[in-house]
Amino acid sequence: MTFTTADLCDAHEAQLTLGALRVLEPIFHLFSRTESFSGPAVTLKVFEDNALVRTTLEEPGNGRVLVVDGGGSLRCALVGGNLAQIAQDNGWAGIVVNGCVRDALELNEAEVGVVALTTCPRRCGKRGGGERDVPVQLPGASVQPGEWIYADIDGVLVSNAALD
């Protein structure tokens, strides 16, 4: 499906008003060659620890979007070039990170969408903590597992259901 988030907002104004379609705050940036991506959300809640991110991305993605609530930490990166390659190889549509990424040039070469707050060269820990398939609160909207994510250079949308 080819889309822009701006066009989706225009076409679904009633859903925006009702809250069935929500817009994340405009603090997320696109770090990928893929200009737009969408799919049902798989959610993670972690903090400065990406072991669960890797474990999840090693599973078949089946066109889903991994939504990682990293608590907005800017102290280390939760996703880098290696994890983007794993996501691409396993069929994930994209990754949304409420936190940092690194290896921006490698992310730009990957055929998987990546959206995050910013970059940080420092890697994070790998202690194995975190929660999966739980509601997460990102800046601007909550995301439930299975809700639909639509992302492009203009922003990130969260929808209760797939949009036409």
Please report, for the domain that includes residue 52, its CATH number: 3.50.30.40
- What CA–CA distance (Å, rounded) separates 80 from 106? 8
- How many domains is the chain partitioned into structurally? 1
- What CA–CA distance (Å, rounded) separates 51 from 49? 6
Looking at residue 34, its pLDDT comes to: 92
pLDDT digits (tens, 9 = 90+) for 42-89: 999 999 999 999 999 999 999 999 999 999 999 999 999 999 999 999
Q: Hey, what are 65's tokens?
A: 């979007």
**Residue 113 counted as domain residue:** yes
Query: Which residues of the chain fall short of a pLDDT of 70?
Result: none
Looking at residue 109, its pLDDT comes to: 94
**Residue 34 counted as domain residue:** yes
**Residue 122 φ/ψ region, left for φ over 0, alpha for ψ in the -120 to 50 degree band, beta for the rest:** beta
For residue 3, the number of C-alpha atoms closer than 13 Å in the C-beta half-sphere is 22
Looking at residue 76, its pLDDT comes to: 98
Domain with 20, as residue range(s), is 5-159
**Residue 164 counted as domain residue:** no
